[in-house]
Amino acid sequence: MFLLLVDFVLGLFPQWKNHDVAKKIRKLANPSCELVRKFLPADLPVDFSHFVVILGLLILMKLW
């Protein structure tokens, strides 16, 4: 969840998108977010896939 939050924050700042650490974090967070991005509209101003994945993880933890 921490990686997803950091990836979201780094995505808000275009000057940090091409930093090496940001690329590594995006590479780690991207597989879970890609599944959700397929179902979200493409014209959203902010990528909400991170929040959907975190919400799903929180629900799974609560049910477990």
User: What's the confidence (pLDDT) of residue 55?
Assistant: 95
| C-alpha distances out from residue 10 to 16, 34, 57, 61, 64, Å | 6, 17, 21, 26, 31
The residue-averaged pLDDT of 11-29 equals 90
Mean pLDDT of 30-56: 91
Contact criterion met (CB below 8 Å) for 7 and 25: yes
Q: Which one-letter amino acid corresponds to residue 21? A: V
Q: What pLDDT sits at residue 14?
A: 85
pTM of the model: 0.81
Calculate mean pLDDT across residues 36-49. Answer: 89
Do 17 and 10 form a contact (C-beta atoms < 8 A)?
yes
Q: What is residue 61's predicted lDDT score, i.e. its pLDDT?
A: 95
Does 47 score more than 90 pLDDT? Answer: no
